[in-house]
Amino acid sequence: MKARSLVIIGLIVVMLAGVLLGQSPLEIRAASATAVSGWQQMGGPGGNPIWVAPASVLTSADIERAERRAVPDSGPAVGVVFTADGAKKMSQLSATQSGKPIAMLLDGKVIWAPIVRGAIEKEAVLTGLTPAQADRLLTSLKGR
């Protein structure tokens, strides 16, 4: 019984540490630049409002690895490689959202909302992030 209590306490401590250190999971959701019934209006990057679907399509569990990338004239960039299951989910999301935004949320806030211009499958390079956003994203993904 003592060992079980210690395991439960340990899990609670790990979860709280993640919250306190800001290591909450990444979420990727469908989004829209115009109001959609049942979707939440949020502040998008640059302060423009964006409507975000209530359900996450992908989470940090769908990401195999993330790394800092150098992309000339783009500022900080993060390369993301999806798991096999994550690649399938991202492929479906990018097909559904073609010409529309997708929202990347960290700590429940939209940090990036690009318009989908083509199929996204196994890899994506996230550009247009501030240095703080790139660092925060990498820290969150490494802490999972």
Which pLDDT score, from 0 to 100, does residue 24 have? 55
Is there a domain that residue 7 lies in?
A: no
Residue 95 lies in a domain: yes
| 8 is a domain residue | no
Distance CA 98, CA 46 (A): 21
Q: Which residues of the chain have pLDDT under 50?
A: 2-23
Which range of residues forms the domain containing residue 72? Answer: 24-142
Q: Considering the domain boundaries, does residue 84 fall inside one?
A: yes
Contacts of 47 (CB under 8 A, 6+ apart): none
pLDDT score of 10: 33
Is 135 a member of any domain? yes
CA 32-33-35 angle, to 5 degrees, is: 75
Q: At 26, give phi and psi (nearest 5°).
A: -80, 145
pLDDT reported for residue 132: 85
Determine, yes or no, domain membership for 57.
yes
Sheet containing strand 123-126, edge to edge, reads 63-70, 76-82, 123-126
> For the chain, how many structural domains are there in total?
1
pLDDT at 139: 86
Tell me, yes or no, whether 91 lies in a domain.
Answer: yes
Each residue's pLDDT tens digit, 103-137: 999 888 998 898 998 899 999 988 878 888 888 88
Q: Does 64 map to a domain?
A: yes
Q: In CATH, what number is assigned to the domain containing residue 28?
A: 3.30.1360.200
What's the pTM? 0.75
